[in-house]
Structure 1
Amino acid sequence: MLEPFKEYLQKKVAITDEQFDLISHKLKVKTFSKNEMILMKGDFSTQGFFVLNGLLRSYSIDAKGKTHIIQFAPEQWWLSERNGHFNEPSDFFIDAIESTQAILMPKDFINEAAEIVPCMNPLNSTMLNNAIRFMQKRINMLLSATAEERYLDFIKLYPNLTLRVPQWMIASYLGITPESLSRVRKDLAHKHFHP
């Protein structure tokens, strides 16, 4: 079951089969059923997830009970709640939108793996920088982009999710109402068919 993760790493860094065998003993594969709650707000979690198949999401719920989706994690995406790395309770919930198989990795996995496979260090740095860039772009889109621009960016980032998640979840991720999303989709369909 770890084979897809090994292939993923081998595309990113020069890691041999033997090196992967040495670092993989701390990894566990777990299956989550559809709608299963994986992490509750306030829990302490030091695990990260690498999605093999299926779909996870992280989200918060505000004082009025409204859901705000922070991230989707389809196949070959990473998802973690960073507070756990600092021994602080989680700010977010994580659940499975679909039946999902994911690799669970402890927070120190990459650092420990880098002691055996030094080329993991640049990968870790790249992943952290990409995560920061992703969040900065996301914040900027929420602050300044139109609903249409946000939706087009969503499609570019998550090309196969529009048919896999309910529209209200996409609207939640975009920070707009489902009605606004419906209008955006109608406008885009009209533009596409009536140039």
Structure 2
Amino acid sequence: MELILENIAKHVQLTPQEQLHFLSKTTLEHHKAKSVILNAGQISTKSYFVNSGILRSFTINDNIVEHVLSFSCAGWWISDMYSYFTQKPGNLFIEVLEDAEVVVLSKENQEQLYHDIPKLERFFRILTENSLVANQERLMDNLSLSAEERFEKFCIKYPNLILKVPQKQIASFIGVTPEFFSKMKSKLLKNSSQSI
């Protein structure tokens, strides 16, 4: 539970008693790879903080094509934010890609924590703002950057995921087909080996 307390401490300082109270409102879960912890159409009542492992959120369109919205590894939060905040059925699946340990915070307990420890409302506001900024940046990247540039940014942001996540999911995240991604990656590798 140290990692989640470190995550909070980046933005707000909790007393030892507040830390214990916060932890008392969470649960620890272990999930095996390939398990789905949220299905599209469900109402998201939980947010997940990743202690270890890798999760992803994705949607599936009418043509049964997956579109990866986000990856989450140790030290990151993940949820279907639309569903979590509106308490309406969501559009996202959340899948475990690598065996994971997650800290689970229910919406009900989060609301209670806002009352009990008001500074946590500031913490979660900062998380929400950061998420909004990241989503806007990704949208702008998709509109203005080439696939190669989007892949380079992915490599910088998620360096530990390159070898752990299937290429088709990386392709989906940066908005290209797996075939295009494979050709692009081969071309980039060829160009980098020639420049050495």
Provide the C-alpha distance between the structure 1 equivalents of 2:125 and 2:169, rounded to a whole number of angstroms. Answer: 31
Provide the C-alpha distance between the structure 1 equivalents of 2:13 and 2:193, rounded to a whole number of angstroms. Answer: 47
Contact 1:23/1:116 (8 A) holds in 2: no
1:45 CA displacement: 1.7
Contact 2:54/2:98 (8 A) holds in 1: yes
Secondary structure class of the residue paired with 2:10: helix
Contact 1:30/1:103 (8 A) holds in 2: yes
Q: Which residue is 1:76 aligned to?
A: 75
1:66 aligns with 2:65: yes
Q: Which residue is 2:48 aligned to?
A: 49
Secondary structure class of the residue paired with 1:176: coil
Aligned residues: 194
Q: Which amino acid aligns with 1:81?
A: D
1:112 CA displacement: 3.3
Provide the C-alpha distance between the structure 1 equivalents of 2:165 and 2:84, rounded to a whole number of angstroms. Answer: 27
Q: Which residue is 1:94 aligned to?
A: 94
CA RMSD of aligned residues (A): 1.6
Stretches of structure 2 lacking an aligned partner (at least 5 in a row): none
With normalisation by structure 1, the TM-score equals: 0.92
Provide the C-alpha distance between the structure 1 equivalents of 2:27 and 2:6, rounded to a whole number of angstroms. Answer: 16
Q: Which amino acid aligns with 1:22?
A: H
Q: Which amino acid aligns with 2:53?
A: G
Contact 2:8/2:123 (8 A) holds in 1: no
1:109 CA displacement: 4.2
Q: Which residue is 2:11 aligned to?
A: 12
Provide the C-alpha distance between the structure 1 equivalents of 2:96 and 2:54, rounded to a whole number of angstroms. Answer: 6
Provide the C-alpha distance between the structure 1 equivalents of 2:124 and 2:85, rounded to a whole number of angstroms. Answer: 15
Stretches of structure 1 lacking an aligned partner (at least 5 in a row): none
Q: Which amino acid aligns with 2:136?
A: Q
1:9 CA displacement: 1.8
Contact 2:72/2:78 (8 A) holds in 1: yes
Provide the C-alpha distance between the structure 1 equivalents of 2:109 and 2:77, rounded to a whole number of angstroms. Answer: 13
Percentage of identical aligned residues: 29
Secondary structure class of the residue paired with 1:59: strand
Q: Which amino acid aligns with 1:134?
A: A
Q: Which residue is 1:183 aligned to?
A: 183
